[in-house]
Structure 1
């Protein structure tokens, strides 16, 4: 459907599932996008011959992030729980998810990317978790980044809210490969390394490689989600930061 926020199709004799965020230029990870991604995974992951998923985006940017309006106090619980359910669904994906990143990949957009396995990005891509600048934090990234790049590197990105380019992301292990055309690089990885393997055996390899880290992420995510909803959102500054962003004004921190 033309009004869908996501394009979904199969390639390579139905062994490769393609998911493409299709609301350029921002490709916001809002309720509709989350629902579309979850439905596509539900529909296709049961296929025995499916061997991999490629997640990319239309336009010049992967995603500007989650919907800030949906982070406001009256909506944030529903939004956060649905996003975290999608993250968990991606972590439980039985086949590798290859993510192709170009342009901006920020906030909730990067959290979705981090739930994949292998990440391919342009050298001038811009990746970061800027949530702290709005006086909130990134719950999923707080769980995913330490597992991927280590505690100290994760803390740098989460505490500063700064963004990094593809070269720095490669250096710290956030991404696997730099390419001018990351979607083509992800497809080439599939063709070279995955197309010839047994889909059933690859599923065991995926499970074996990540069983312990996924369990840690799931347990921590429940704790962090509660911290966000029950404690952070009860503070003045968290609400003020979000309202200031929506109203396009400078936030007034009261440090409480």
Structure 2
């Protein structure tokens, strides 16, 4: 296991910040991964030369999601608060956040991706919020997906827990482009459309596009976090679902 769960470097003469999840194949979005992402963004986003961030992942899959162990009642408050702080930090990014996705991109992994701006996905990549299948719901995605893809498509994903292909993601507006090499496609987008811009003016364009979205999402994340921690986690089925998942057994729902 590498020292850090995240690889961080600058390209394009400091104009492109590269962030790479580096714990394949699962690339779990756990406390260590969240802290590494927050630290890298805190360090590099203030740079006046920066024009974009590109987030991708080592291995065949972007991420299997958040740590289910960290979702248990004794640790879920800290986990949710840190993940939601990361999501808000990404939403407040002064420059566009590009994301390249391969393979599975699930749960907390997709929540991080959805907090970015433009998503480039490999053919056959699978995106989903399967939380409901283990008796919980996806808090950040409940706030982010309606803003990205509207009420109908987001409710389908949030209520069913089903995964969709990159191609279906493109049709519903979640995915910007489907490309054999999504990292290369994202860099090509940067080179063609962002590299030659004024970094200063680009920041105003990013802020303008996020007005309203940011305020709504912050308000909703606070309410959804409260619902999750104070009500959902007090139910039998939420804890049973998590225990069943960790025990690799079917959940015995009591509908309460």
CA distance in 2, matches of 1:76, 1:13: 40
Residue 102 (1) aligns with residue 102 (2): yes
1:109 Cα deviation (Å)? 0.1
CA distance in 1, matches of 2:18, 2:86: 17
CA distance in 2, matches of 1:104, 1:50: 29
Residue 238 (1) aligns with residue 243 (2): no
Gaps of 5+ in 2: none
Gaps of 5+ in 1: none
Aligned twin of 2:56: 56
CA distance in 1, matches of 2:80, 2:230: 12
Segments of 4+ moved more than 2 angstroms: none
CA distance in 2, matches of 1:238, 1:2: 33
1:211 Cα deviation (Å)? 1.2
Any idea what SS the aligned residue of 1:228 has?
helix
- How many residues align structurally? 256
Q: What's the TM-score once normalised by structure 1's chain length?
A: 0.99
Aligned twin of 1:221: 221
Any idea what SS the aligned residue of 1:150 has?
helix
1:39 Cα deviation (Å)? 0.1
Aligned twin of 2:21: 21
Any idea what SS the aligned residue of 1:7 has?
strand
Residue 147 (1) aligns with residue 144 (2): no
Q: CA RMSD in A?
A: 0.8
CA distance in 1, matches of 2:156, 2:193: 33
1:17 Cα deviation (Å)? 0.2
- Report if the CA contact (8 A) 2:64-2:106 is conserved: yes
Aligned twin of 2:168: 168
Aligned twin of 2:82: 82
